[in-house]
Structure 1
Amino acid sequence: MNEAAPKPVNPIWVSIAVSLAAFMEVLDTTIANVALTHIAGSLGASSEESTWVLTSYLVSNGIVLPLSGWLSGLMGRKNFFILCIIGFTFTSFMCGIATSLSMLIIFRLLQGLAGGGLQPAQQAIIKDSFPPEKLGMAFAITGITTVLAPILGPTLGGYITDNYNWRWIFFMNVPVGLLAAFLVKVLVQDPPSAQKQDVGSIDYIGLGLIALGLGALQIVLDKGQQEDWFDSSFIVLFAVISAISLVLAIYWLLQQKRPVVELKLFKIPSFGMPCVMMFFVGFALYGSTTLLPMMVQANFGYDATLSGLLLSPAGIVVLFMMPVVGKLVNVVPAKYLISIGMLINALGMWATGLITPQTDYSTFVFVRILQTLGLPFLFVPASTLAFSKISPENSSNASAIISLTRNLGGSIGIALVTNKLIHSQQIQQSYLVQHLTMADAGYRYALDTYTQVMTNLGVPSTLVSTKAMGKIYQDLLHQASILAYRDAYNFVAVILIVLGVAALFMPTNRPQKKETPVESH
C-alpha cells in the first residue's frame, strides 16, 4: 500500500485508446459482407458455403458478449481487454492467410470469441473514466464506435475488395490491433472495482447453457432466410435447442449467488427499459444498413463500392451529432431525447419508402442521413440512463448485457426485415400481375409502346409480342422489388413510431450538471 497512486490519465486519451480496438471489432461485423463473392471464388467455395464466414463470427461473438463482465472479474478488466485485442489481432492475421474456407471459418470463429469482449469492456472503461456529470459525453464517444463502424464497414470492405484483395480486410487489423494494445497497456488504469476478483468456482452449467442457447439462436437468425425458416428441420432443431437452453439458463442464473451473467440488474427500472431501447438501436441500425445496399445493387445497378459510399455521408453526420447529443443529455431528460430519436429514424424509414425507379444517388444519400440522424438521440441517452443507477462494481456486467441486447437487436432486425422483404416481393408481384390485362389502360399503353420499340429495332413480327411481354414482365419484377423495399422500410417505421411513444413512459433521469456520486448497491 506504500506504492504511489498512478497519475490519472485524461479520459479523452483513455477513450481514444479503448475505442480504437472496439471500432476495429465492430467494423468486422459488416466489413466482410460485401466480400463474400470474392472470398468464395478465391477459396473454391459456393456462395452458400461462404456465408459461414459471417455466421461463425456472429455465433462466437454472441456467446462471449454476455460473459465478458464475468471474464473481466476473473482476469481483471484491463488484462481481459488486452488479451481480447491480442487474440483478435492474431486471428485477423490468420484469417488473412487462410488457404481454405474451412480454415477461414475456424479462425473467424476464434476471431469472434476474442472480439466479443471488446465492446463491453470499452464501454465500461469509458464509463468509469468520466465523472457522472459527463456520462453523456462519455457515451457519445462509445456511440461513435458503435454506430459509425457498422455504417463504414460496407464502404471500406467494398473499396478494399474492388481495388485490392479481400485478405486486406483482415490484414489491416494487425497494425491497428498492435497500436491499440500498446496504448491500452500504457494509458488504462483499472479502478479497484475492475481489478481481478475472486469469482469462486466456475459455473460450468450457466456457462454451457448460455453458450448453447445464444449460439443456436444466432445460427437460426443468420441462416433462417437461406434455409426457408421453419420449413427446414435444421432451423427447427436449432430453434428448439436455443429456446430450451435460454429458458433453463435464465432460471439457473437467477438462482446463483455469483452468476456468469447478472440478470438481476434488470430489476433496476432505469436499466431494463433502456436495454429494450438499445435492442431497437441495433434493430434500426443493422436492419436499415442491410436493406439500402441490397436495394441499390439489385434495382439500380450500383456496385459494392458505390453502394457503400451511399452510407458514408450518414456516418459523418452521426460523427458530428454524437457530441451534440452528449451535451443535450445534461439538459434534457433522456426519455424525451430517445422519443425524438425514434421518431426521426421513423421519418427516415418512411422517406426511403417513397423512392421510385428514377431516384438518384443524392436522394439516396439524403434519405440515408435521415435514417441515421436519430441514432445519436437513441444511443447516448439510453446508455446514460441505463448506467445512471449502476454501481462501479457492476459496470462490466451492465456493459456486457447492453452490448448483447444491441447485437441481438441487430441480428433479429436483419432477419425480420429480409423476411418481410421477400414476403412483400411475392405479394407485390402477385398484385401487379393482376393488372396485366387489356382492361388496364397502363398495361395497354406499355404494350403498345414496347411493341413499337421492338418493331423499330427490326425484331421479327413473330417475336415482337413475346419480346414486348418479356420487357413488361421485367418492369413488373423491378417495380415489385422496389415496392417490397418500401414495405420493409414502412414496417421498421411503424415499430419505431410505437417505440417513440413508449419511450415517454420510461423512468425520468435528472440531468446531472454538477458532481453527483453514482449510486451503489
Structure 2
Amino acid sequence: MELQPSLVEYGFRRVIITITAVMCALLEIVDTTIVNVALNDMRGNLGGTLSEVSWVITAYAIGNVIIVPMTSWLSQQFGRRNYFAASIIIFTVASFCCGNSDNIWELVFFRLIQGFGGGALLVTAQTLITESYPPEKRGMAQAIYGLGVIVGPTLGPPLGGYIVDNFSWPYIFYINLPLGAIAALLTLQFIRSPKYSEKKSASEIDWWGIALLALAVGSLQYVLEKGQEDDWFNDEMIVICSVAAVLGFFFFIWRELTYKSPIVALRVLKNSNLLIGTVLSFVLGFGLYGSTFVIPLYTQATLGWTATQSGMLMVPAALVTAFCMPIVGQLIQRGVKQQYLVAGGMVVFFIYSIWGYFILTPDTGSDAFFWMLIVRGAGLGFLFVPISTLALSTLKGREIGEGAAFTGMMRQLGGSFGVAVITTYIARQNMQHRSDLVSRLDVNNPVVQQRVEGLQRNFMAKGMSPDVALKSGYQMLEYSIYKQATVLSYMDVFLFLGCLFLFCVPFVLMTRSGKTKIDPSSVH
C-alpha cells in the first residue's frame, strides 16, 4: 500500500507516535527474552518439568507466528488504530493473567494469548513509524525503529534477572501493565488509520490456511516437547500429533498454493535467493533463541548463578551486535556481497559454539564466558541484516513485503523449534552420558573406593554416624555424576549448533547476487 500524505505527521504528534510505536515494539521483544532467566523460578514455583517450562517460551512464539500473517487483513477490517489498540489491550490483559497463573499450563495458555496480541505490535509499529515520516526522512524512521528492536533483546535478560532476584517472577509480566495502558491511550488519542478503499469480507480471509498452520505448528511443537518424556512413538498422543503435523503441513502447502488470497504467499518461494534466505532465517532463529535459552539455564541450574548474574552476562554481547549492525549495513551499501557477510557470520558463530564446547565445566567462571559471548554478538551482528537483504535482493515490488513477512515468520518458527529440539536433545544426552559414566564406575576399583571413603570421613567429621556418612558419600558421588552428565549434554548442544551453522556456509556461497540496496520502507 502506498504512503498516504494525510498520514505524515509533524512536530509533537510525530514524536508521540514514534515513542508509542517503539514502546510497543520493545514490549513485544522484551517479553520474548525476559522469561529466559526466570524459567528456573517458574519451574520450582509452579511445579513444572524442564520440558513443560520451555512451553512458556514456545507458546508465545507460536502465538506470534499464527497472528503475523493475519495482521494486514485485521488492520483493514477494523482500522489500523483500533486493531493496534486492541492488540495492546489483549497483550496487557494477558500479561496480568500470566502473572496470576497458578500452574504451568495456565501460564502457557496466557502466554499464547499474549503472543497473539504481541505479534501484531511488532509488524504494525514498523508500518506506523514509516507512514508518520515524510519519504526523505524514512531512513531515519527505520533507524529509530531498528534501535528499539536491537535494544529489546538486550534489556530482557538483565531486567528479568533483576526482577526475579529482588521481587518474584510474576512481576516480569506486571511491569507491562502501566506501559500497556499508556500505549493504548496514546494510540487511541494520536494514531490515525489510513482510509482503505474497501473492507474485505470475512469469507475472503484464508481461515482454512490459518487453521492448518496452527494445527501443524502446534502438533509438531507438542511432538518435539513431549516426545522424549513420553517415549516417542510408543505413546498414542505422540503418534496422533505426528500424523496431524504431517497432514497439517501437507494440506497447508496445498491450500496456500491453490487459494486466490493465501495467508502465506508460498509462490514467492520460487525465487531461489528467498528460499535460501528463508532457510537461513530459520537457522538463525534456531541458533539465536536456542543459545539465548541454553546459557541462562546452564549458568543458573548447573553453576548456581543468580538470575541477575545470568542476565547481565548477555548484555556485552548484545551491545556488540548493536554496534556491528550499522557497520554491516554500510558494507552492504558499499557493494560487499551479502553471501560473504552471511558466510563470515556463520563461521564466527561456529567459532563461538566450539569455544563454548571447550570451556564448559561444572564450575566455569564468568570471565571464561565473556569473550565467548562477545564472539557470539559479533557473529549475530553479521547475520541479521545480510540474511534479510540476501533473501530480498532479487525480489521486486509487492514480493518484497511478502518475502519479508515470510523470513520474519520463519525466524520466529526457527526459534520455537530450536528451544524444543535443544530441550529434548539435552534430556536424551543427559540419560546417555549418565549411563556411560555409571558403567565406568566400578565399586571394586581402588580409586572409587578411596573416593567414597574420603567422602565418608568428611561427613563423619561433621558428626554423622559411619553408615549415614557412607550413604551420604554415595549420594554425593551420584550428584557429581549427574552434574558431569549435564555438563557433557550442554557441550553436545554447543557442538551441534556449531556444526549446523558451518554446514550452511557452502549453501550461502552458492546463492547469486542481487541488488545490494533495499529501500527499508518497502519492507513491512
- 1:334 paired residue among 338, 341, 360: 338
Which residue does the alignment assign to 1:216?
219
Matching of residue 294 in structure 1 with residue 297 in structure 2: yes
Distance across 2 between alignment mates of 1:70 and 1:290? 33
Which residue does the alignment assign to 2:26?
23
C-alpha spacing 1:59/1:228, structure 2 compared with 1 (3 Å): farther
Give the match's secondary structure for 1:206: helix
8 Å CA contact 2:130–2:521 kept in 1: the answer is no
Distance across 1 between alignment mates of 2:472 and 2:299? 26
Which residue does the alignment assign to 1:352?
356
Give the match's secondary structure for 1:259: coil
1:299 offset after TM fit, Å? 2.1
8 Å CA contact 1:432–1:476 kept in 2: the answer is yes
C-alpha spacing 1:361/1:116, structure 2 compared with 1 (3 Å): same
1:378 offset after TM fit, Å? 1.0
Matching of residue 268 in structure 1 with residue 271 in structure 2: yes
8 Å CA contact 1:213–1:241 kept in 2: the answer is yes
8 Å CA contact 1:348–1:367 kept in 2: the answer is yes
8 Å CA contact 1:81–1:118 kept in 2: the answer is yes
For residues 54-78 of structure 1, what are the alpha-carbon distances to aligned partners after superposition, in whole Å with 9 as ceiling and x for unaligned? 5543443332133334434545656
1:244 offset after TM fit, Å? 0.7
Once the two structures are overlaid, the 10-residue window that deviates more, 123-132 or 424-433, is 123-132
Once the two structures are overlaid, the 10-residue window that deviates more, 115-124 or 301-310, is 115-124
Which residue does the alignment assign to 2:256?
253
C-alpha spacing 1:454/1:309, structure 2 compared with 1 (3 Å): same
What amino acid is aligned across from residue 248 of structure 2 in structure 1? S
8 Å CA contact 1:19–1:142 kept in 2: the answer is yes
What amino acid is aligned across from residue 510 of structure 1 in structure 2? K
8 Å CA contact 1:121–1:399 kept in 2: the answer is no
- 1:282 paired residue among 285, 310, 328: 285
Give the match's secondary structure for 2:382: helix
Which residue does the alignment assign to 2:347?
343
Give the alignment of 1:47-446 within 5 angstroms.
47=48, 53-54=56-57, 56-75=59-78, 80-96=83-99, 106-122=109-125, 149-150=152-153, 152-181=155-184, 198-199=199-200, 201-331=204-334, 332-354=336-358, 355-391=360-396, 393-394=398-399, 396-437=401-442, 446=451
Distance across 2 between alignment mates of 1:5 and 1:272? 37
1:40 offset after TM fit, Å? 7.2
Once the two structures are overlaid, the 10-residue window that deviates more, 223-232 or 290-299, is 223-232
1:482 offset after TM fit, Å? 1.3
C-alpha spacing 1:135/1:438, structure 2 compared with 1 (3 Å): farther
**Normalising to structure 1: TM-score of the pair?**
0.82
8 Å CA contact 1:68–1:397 kept in 2: the answer is no
What amino acid is aligned across from residue 342 of structure 2 in structure 1? I
Give the match's secondary structure for 1:28: helix
8 Å CA contact 2:65–2:119 kept in 1: the answer is yes
1:293 offset after TM fit, Å? 1.7
8 Å CA contact 1:341–1:500 kept in 2: the answer is no
C-alpha spacing 1:349/1:291, structure 2 compared with 1 (3 Å): same
1:265 offset after TM fit, Å? 1.8
RMSD, aligned α-carbons: 4.1
Give the match's secondary structure for 2:383: helix
1:197 offset after TM fit, Å? 5.4
Give the match's secondary structure for 1:353: helix
Once the two structures are overlaid, the 10-residue window that deviates more, 372-381 or 47-56, is 47-56
8 Å CA contact 1:212–1:242 kept in 2: the answer is yes
8 Å CA contact 1:148–1:318 kept in 2: the answer is no
Distance across 2 between alignment mates of 1:91 and 1:154? 20
Distance across 1 between alignment mates of 2:15 and 2:395? 22
Distance across 1 between alignment mates of 2:421 and 2:100? 34
1:278 offset after TM fit, Å? 1.0
Distance across 2 between alignment mates of 1:128 and 1:467? 68
1:236 offset after TM fit, Å? 2.4
Distance across 2 between alignment mates of 1:16 and 1:334? 32
C-alpha spacing 1:478/1:109, structure 2 compared with 1 (3 Å): closer
Give the match's secondary structure for 1:149: helix
Matching of residue 46 in structure 1 with residue 47 in structure 2: yes
8 Å CA contact 1:140–1:326 kept in 2: the answer is no
8 Å CA contact 1:91–1:110 kept in 2: the answer is yes
Distance across 2 between alignment mates of 1:97 and 1:255? 44
Distance across 2 between alignment mates of 1:181 and 1:358? 46
- 1:492 paired residue among 488, 493, 497: 497
What amino acid is aligned across from residue 173 of structure 1 in structure 2? N
C-alpha spacing 1:102/1:442, structure 2 compared with 1 (3 Å): closer
1:457 offset after TM fit, Å? 6.3
8 Å CA contact 2:282–2:411 kept in 1: the answer is yes
Distance across 1 between alignment mates of 2:197 and 2:433? 58
User: Structure 1: which 5+ residue stretches go unaligned?
Assistant: none
Give the match's secondary structure for 1:374: helix
C-alpha spacing 1:353/1:439, structure 2 compared with 1 (3 Å): farther
Once the two structures are overlaid, the 10-residue window that deviates more, 391-400 or 126-135, is 126-135
Aligned length: 512
Once the two structures are overlaid, the 10-residue window that deviates more, 22-31 or 50-59, is 50-59
**Normalising to structure 2: TM-score of the pair?**
0.82
C-alpha spacing 1:377/1:491, structure 2 compared with 1 (3 Å): same
1:259 offset after TM fit, Å? 1.3
Distance across 2 between alignment mates of 1:467 and 1:39? 29
User: Structure 2: which 5+ residue stretches go unaligned?
Assistant: none
Give the match's secondary structure for 1:329: helix
8 Å CA contact 2:287–2:415 kept in 1: the answer is yes
For residues 420-462 of structure 1, what are the alpha-carbon distances to aligned partners after superposition, in whole Å with 9 as ceiling and x for unaligned? 2222223333333344348989758756765775676677666
8 Å CA contact 1:425–1:484 kept in 2: the answer is yes
Once the two structures are overlaid, the 10-residue window that deviates more, 402-411 or 382-391, is 382-391
Distance across 2 between alignment mates of 1:405 and 1:4? 33
